[in-house]
Amino acid sequence: MLSGKPLFPGKNVVHQLDLMTDLLGTPPAESISRIRNEKARRYLSSMRKKQPVPFSKKFPNVDPLALNLLERLLAFDPKDRPSAEEALSDPYFHGLSNVDREPSTQPISKLEFEFERRKLTKDDVRELIYREILEYHPQMLQEYLSGGDQTSFMYPR
């Protein structure tokens, strides 16, 4: 947002990591060890050490408070980044945000995304699509539930 264009416009994963480390420097070994993708871990471990570029140099004429927040938000290791609540209480937002009035919640349980891990057969997908269609056509839903012709929607009377 500071420059009006993407900060890390990577063409692929390797290019993205190069752009990130060009600005942020090479992450410490401890951070690299927590990366789940083995190829990314190997790539970062093998790259030459890069020093971070001071954000004030990359973004001259930008409010130092904005740069300080940006540095925190762009920490390579997610555990070092502020939560949304912490970011809103950053001095950069002083006078704009009232943390006491902001909604706060607990992290979403992994169970909420269990459906993404389910292996679906072609027939499962067809059934799910058909049921989605039925949500928008109550008359078809009644036919379906009563065991009627499931192809009637393709051949209206």
Per-residue pLDDT of the chain (157 residues; tens, 9 = 90+): 777 889 999 999 899 999 999 999 999 999 999 999 999 999 999 999 999 999 999 999 999 999 999 999 999 999 999 998 899 889 999 888 676 777 777 777 777 777 778 888 999 888 888 888 888 888 887 887 787 666 665 656 5
CATH of 13-101, one of 1.10.510.10, 3.40.640.10, 1.10.1070.20, 3.40.50.1010: 1.10.510.10
Full-prediction pTM beyond 0.85? no
Would you state the torsion angle of the CA atoms of residues 42, 45, 49, 54, taken in this order, to the nearest 10 degrees? Answer: 80
**pLDDT number for residue 2:** 74
Within 10 angstroms of residue 27's Cβ, the number of other Cβ atoms is: 21
Best CA proximity match to 78, nearest among 19, 136, 35, 140: 35
77 in helix, strand or coil? coil
Domain residue spans in the chain?
Answer: 13-101, 110-154
**pLDDT number for residue 142:** 80
